[in-house]
Amino acid sequence: MSKPPILTLADITKRFDTQEVLSGFNLSIEDGEFFTILGPSGCGKTTVLRLIAGFEGADEGRIMLNGQDVSKLSAEKRPVNTVFQSYALFPHMTVFDNVAFGLKMAKVSKPEIAERVKEALATVRLSDFATRKPHQLSGGQKQRVAIARAVVNRPKVLLLDESLSALDYKLRQQMQMELKQLQRKLGITFIYVTHDQEEALSMSDRVLVMHNGQAQQVGTPREIYECPNNLFVASFIGEINVFNAEILENLGDYRYLAAMDGFKREIHADRRFEAGDKVHVLLRPEDLRIEYLEDAPDRPGFSGKVLERNYTGQTLDSQIQLPSGQTIMASEFFDEDDPDFDYSINQKVWVDWVHGWEHVIKAES
Amino acid sequence: MIRIFKSGFLGLIFLYLYLPILVLVVNSFNESKYGYDWKGFSWRWYEKLWNNDALMDAFGNSLLIACLSATAATVIGALMALAIYRYKFPLKKTAGSLLFVVMMSPDIVLAITFLVIFIALGIQLGFWSLLIAHITFCLPFVVITVYAQLKGFDDNLLEAAQDLGASESRIFRLIILPIILPAVISGWLLSFTLSLDDVIISSFVTGPGFEILPIRVFSMVKVGISPEVNVLATVLLFISLTLVTVVTLLMKRKTEA
Amino acid sequence: MSQSPFRRFIIILTLAWLALFVLAPHFLVVLTSVMTPDSEHLAVWPMTLDAYARIWEPLYADVFWQSLALSAKATLICLLLGYPFAYIVAKMSPAWRAFMMFLMIIPFWTNSLIRTYAIKLLLGNKGLFNWVLEAIGVIDAPIQMIYTEFAVVFGLTYILLPFMALPLISSFDKLDKDLIEAGHDLGAGFWQRFYHIVLPLTMPGVVAGCLIVFLPAMGMFYVADLLGGAKNLLLGNIIKNQFLVVRDWPFGSAFSVTLIVIMGMMLWLYYAANKKVQRMGGLDDQNL
């Protein structure tokens, strides 16, 4: 992209007491993207958000916003706004006054405030609720007021802190759609923090996966899902099967011969390995194919027995135990025309995967 | 900078709260009767207090009333909190409002309501009137403390106990009481404190046969200066601090066990 | 559920105690206030509103207003000291906060009358304050502090400050930190956050604190007696005189009923403040 990033965090270090939550943390976010910071609780994602908002000051490093160094600027002076996890609506003010608050603080003229609040409430489809108090609203409505209260100020960047986590499943799905549409419509950069990988994948242009205060991987949802950088990212984003393997021979053109659990097989990787390298071969459950052992052809694959099978409506998920003791998960789309499509527990099966769907990373000890 | 300002402000507030008490304690050891200048350390006023029978009596009576009323208020208040928490009964809302009235009423109003009812009921002013009045004005504080604790715990526990065949009084003894014990203890301490501190209500419902501290002290200090009072304050402070320390330590041991 | 004896016992205990020692006495005081004073039987029929009329006699009305003014001053000072104090304490770690509360309670164990006497020792012409001021050469002759209105306000503030601080601490405690951050986030500076967010949301604590300081202050006759000299400064002095010396019970009761009415109005204010904030403030009686 040719445009300069809207937001840059450079070499940020943040300590609470003596504990270092972030060290030398870097991040660069493009103008107008929906960016999600994903990670388990305690990984430092909320701290990143609070640093950007200005609720916390970094011990070291710089934060550049729209070409301006805002590191020393207090929260009230930064052109960013936050949608709080708890919504943090002022309980003693009406919806209108809540949304108007930021504009009032910025000394915007009364007629303009009325105009912009009206517009913001219309955007979140709450035009009829202007005179209500927060306690008279449902969770989803509060959520939308919180969003309106933030976007009405036309911030350069909108920060959302686990904003949907308090809603129930159905409403959350609906709000995900709405958020995404809103972001496209407004063209504001959204930075969304969540621990929910499904939410992250479905809404974002780019995702940052964090763990223990470290950035693990930044990329599009597809990159993150299909080509995880390491085991943490791989296992945090959805189910994944990890097989240990050793590279035996470089076949050229990123193809290798690898020794796996009792067989040899050609694998494909997107980086260079040498013979003797230990690697992990990562396979999503839906990449695996299961066949009855009786039909097992004379080609490489795992043999195993079915431990548990679970019919979910769309897929049939099977847990299969390999002779090594490892348990793997396979997920197949239900095919009602296939008479053989079902297994009984303890049945012996043969497991293979679609060639080229494997993802190979360097082994981690 | 802000830190210094904050600590300074806190310091000032506590100076305000403690300076008078400090003056009392220091002067209780002062040889001089008029505590304006230090004339040397002395136990003189302690002896004088010890030999002042009327004052010692009032002192003992005050402690007695404080202990008894705190204990009774704690027992009755805990039962009230339980009744309000656990049962539905007519006039429950009214009961809550009455407790609220007691808590919010100025002492002088409570004092005359007590006086009027004791006269109307023909209760002799003295020990019993003091005890009942002190119990009553301590009650709401115990109820609130215990109720808050009750509200924090799981209803299912009680239902499980009931399901297992425990009677109401056994449920109280075996399940509720251990759970509310910390609240009961802090309710007791609060009641003890309020009872010991009270002047106004005691002044109205006391009688000639049973004199307690504030009435005795009032007549002593209204005109002049009484060094025994300094001693009294010091001793009171010492006794209360010891008492609270013992209770706190016991509680700690209990929770650690 | 069957009516167990235990259950019946504690319900009856609750209702009986409150009816006998709270409801009936209040009712009797109201009743007494409309009776005729009598030297032998304290109060007799017929019904009369004389007592209420007499409150407005200049002699008593003056004390009434003076008492209101003194209480208001003490309440205001308590609020000005207690509010920042509560703010600082509420922000501390739980252990520190508990310690601060403990420090506030300790003085109570010396009995408020004795503490009032201690203030007399501070403010007297030969008291600590004058002694210090003279020693450092600020004054040549002692300032008359004792037996003035200043001394009474000083004493009332001293006795009542903890009562102001406690509900304030609890309402600062309930103040959601996110709301303050939302204020920051939306561009509000310190005073704007204070005026638009902190003050309205701690209002229930402010009203509760004022409620439990203002009215009791009017009744503290011993503070006026010890620090204000022999004048009838507070409503409490009048009420005490009427009940224990003059023995005009209806008149004394009428004053108390007036206090109760003022209390009712302030309680209404408290509920209104709470309603505005939409949650209970310092004194959570909603569930009682």
- B71 Cβ under 8 Å from any chain C Cβ: no
Does residue A103 contact residue A111 with C-beta atoms inside 8 Å? Answer: no
pLDDT value of position C278: 54
pLDDT value of position B255: 65
pLDDT tens, residue by residue, C150-182: 999 999 999 999 999 989 998 998 888 899 999
Q: Which of C176, C187, C196 sits opposite A76 (nearest CB)?
A: C187
Residue that wins the pLDDT comparison between C81 and A166: C81
Does residue C256 contact residue B109 with C-beta atoms inside 8 Å? Answer: yes
Q: Minimal Cα distance from A151: which residue of C?
A: C186
- Can you give the length of chain B in residues? 257
pLDDT at residue B176 greater than cutoff 90 = no
pLDDT value of position C55: 84
Taking an 8 Å cut-off on Cβ atoms, the answer to whether B167 and C243 are in contact is: no
Cα first-last separation, chain A: 37
Chains that touch A (3 or more CB pairs under 8 A): C
Of A58-67, A318-327, B169-178, which gets the smallest average pLDDT?
B169-178
How far apart are alpha carbons B112 and C253 in whole angstroms? 8
pLDDT value of position A337: 66
Instruction: Quickly count: other Cβ atoms within 10 Å of residue A124's Cβ.
Output: 21
Q: Half-sphere exposure of C8 toward its Cβ, with a 13 Å CA cutoff?
A: 5
In single-letter form, the type of residue at position C287 comes to N
Instruction: Quickly count: other Cβ atoms within 10 Å of residue C258's Cβ.
Output: 17
Residues 6 or more apart whose Cβ sits within 8 Å of residue C67 = C218, C233, C234, C235, C236
Mean pLDDT on C225-254: 86
Query: Residues 37..56 of B with a Cβ closer than 8 Å to C: which?
Result: none
Mean residue pLDDT across chain A: 87
How far apart are alpha carbons A161 and A208 in whole angstroms? 14
Mean pLDDT on A143-158: 93
Which of A49, A76, A147, A163 to probe the C interface (max C CBs under 10 A)? A76
Mean pLDDT on C53-62: 86
How far apart are alpha carbons A94 and C276 in whole angstroms? 11
Q: Minimal Cα distance from C189: which residue of A?
A: A76
- B156 Cβ under 8 Å from any chain C Cβ: no
Q: Choose among A42, A267, C118: nearest CA to B227.
A: C118
How far apart are alpha carbons B217 and B52 in whole angstroms? 12
Mean pLDDT on B37-41: 77
- A68 Cβ under 8 Å from any chain C Cβ: no
Closest chain C C-alpha to A201 CA, distance in angstroms: 28
- DSSP string covering B76-121, please? HHHHHHHHHHH---TTHHHHHHHHHHHHHS-HHHHHHHHHHHHHHH
In single-letter form, the type of residue at position A15 comes to R
Does ipTM surpass 0.95 in this model? no
Most confident region among B78-92, B239-253, C265-279 by mean pLDDT: B78-92
pLDDT value of position B73: 96
Closest chain C C-alpha to A74 CA, distance in angstroms: 8
pLDDT at residue A346 greater than cutoff 90 = no
Residue that wins the pLDDT comparison between B230 and B1: B230
Taking an 8 Å cut-off on Cβ atoms, the answer to whether A75 and C197 are in contact is: no
Q: DSSP code of C244?
A: I
Residue that wins the pLDDT comparison between B52 and C217: C217
Taking an 8 Å cut-off on Cβ atoms, the answer to whether B114 and C25 are in contact is: yes
Mean residue pLDDT across chain B: 87
pLDDT tens, residue by residue, A15-39: 888 888 888 899 999 999 999 999 9
pLDDT value of position C1: 47
Q: Where are the alpha helices (DSSP H) in chain A?
A: 45-53, 95-105, 110-123, 139-151, 169-186, 197-203, 221-226, 231-236
Does residue A144 contact residue A124 with C-beta atoms inside 8 Å? Answer: yes
3-state helix, strand and coil shares in percent for chain A, rounded to the nearest 5: 25, 35, 35
Strands A157-161 and A189-194: parallel
Taking an 8 Å cut-off on Cβ atoms, the answer to whether B214 and C127 are in contact is: no
pLDDT value of position A274: 83
Mean pLDDT on B215-224: 82
How would residue A7 be classed by pLDDT, with cut points 50, 70 and 90? very high
- DSSP string covering C47-112, please? P--HHHHHHTSHHHHHHHHHHHHHHHHHHHHHHHHHHHHHHHHHTS-HHHHHHHHHHHHGGGGG-H
Q: DSSP code of A343?
A: -
Strands C36-38 and A214-219: unpaired
How would residue A295 be classed by pLDDT, with cut points 50, 70 and 90? low
CA distances from B88 to B85, B149, B179, C12 (A): 8, 19, 21, 12
Q: Minimal Cα distance from C192: which residue of A?
A: A105
- C175 Cβ under 8 Å from any chain A Cβ: no
- C93 Cβ under 8 Å from any chain A Cβ: no
How would residue C283 be classed by pLDDT, with cut points 50, 70 and 90? very low
Taking an 8 Å cut-off on Cβ atoms, the answer to whether A86 and C176 are in contact is: yes
Mean pLDDT on C118-146: 85
Mean pLDDT on A335-347: 69
Sign of the Cα pseudo-torsion (B99, B101, B107, B112, in order): negative
Q: Minimal Cα distance from C202: which residue of A?
A: A92
- B104 Cβ under 8 Å from any chain C Cβ: yes
Q: DSSP code of A91?
A: T
How far apart are alpha carbons B224 and B201 in whole angstroms? 24
Instruction: Quickly count: other Cβ atoms within 10 Å of residue C132's Cβ.
Output: 12
Q: Which of B87, B113, B232 sits opposite C29 (nearest CB)?
A: B113
How far apart are alpha carbons A326 and A317 in whole angstroms? 16
* SS3 state at C145: coil
**Percentage of chain A lying above the pLDDT 70 cut:** 95
Residues 6 or more apart whose Cβ sits within 8 Å of residue C181 = A53, A55, A75, A82, A84, A88
pLDDT at residue A294 greater than cutoff 80 = no
Q: Where are the alpha helices (DSSP H) in chain C?
A: 5-18, 24-33, 50-55, 58-90, 94-105, 112-123, 128-135, 149-174, 177-185, 190-193, 199-219, 221-227, 235-240, 249-277
pLDDT value of position C94: 87
Q: Which residues of A are less than 8 Å from C171 in CB distance?
A: none
pLDDT at residue C286 greater than cutoff 50 = no
Chains that touch C (3 or more CB pairs under 8 A): A, B
pLDDT tens, residue by residue, A82-140: 999 889 999 989 999 999 999 999 999 999 999 999 999 998 889 999 999 998 898 88
Q: Which residues pair with A189 in a beta bridge?
A: A157
- For residue A22 the two structure tokens come to 């972030």
Q: Minimal Cα distance from B145: which residue of C?
A: C284
- DSSP string covering B179-219, please? HHHHHHHHHHHHHHHHHHH--HHHHHH-BTTB--HHHHHHH
pLDDT at residue A2 greater than cutoff 70 = no
pLDDT value of position A340: 60
- C182 Cβ under 8 Å from any chain A Cβ: yes
Does residue B133 contact residue B212 with C-beta atoms inside 8 Å? Answer: no
Q: Which residues pair with A208 in a beta bridge?
A: A37, A218
Which of C27, C33, C42, C113 to probe the B interface (max B CBs under 10 A)? C113
How would residue C285 be classed by pLDDT, with cut points 50, 70 and 90? very low
Q: Minimal Cα distance from C279: which residue of A?
A: A91
Cα angle, residue A175 at apex, residues A172 and A179 outer, rounded to 5°: 140
Residues 6 or more apart whose Cβ sits within 8 Å of residue B157 = B175
Q: DSSP code of B41?
A: B
Q: Which of B83, B104, B119 sits opposite C263 (nearest CB)?
A: B104
Q: Which residues of C are less than 8 Å from A150 in CB distance?
A: 185
Crossing angle between the packed helical segments B213-221 and C112-123, to the nearest 10 degrees:
20
How would residue C77 be classed by pLDDT, with cut points 50, 70 and 90? very high
Q: Which residues pair with A289 in a beta bridge?
A: A352
pLDDT at residue B126 greater than cutoff 80 = yes
pLDDT value of position B35: 61
Does residue A291 contact residue A353 with C-beta atoms inside 8 Å? Answer: no
How would residue A296 be classed by pLDDT, with cut points 50, 70 and 90? low
Closest chain C C-alpha to B27 CA, distance in angstroms: 10
Q: Which of B83, B117, B198 sits opposite C10 (nearest CB)?
A: B83
Mean pLDDT on B71-90: 91
- A46 Cβ under 8 Å from any chain C Cβ: no
* SS3 state at A1: coil
Chains C and B touch (3+ CB pairs under 8 A): yes
How would residue B245 be classed by pLDDT, with cut points 50, 70 and 90? confident
Mean pLDDT on B9-37: 86
- Can you give the length of chain C in residues? 288
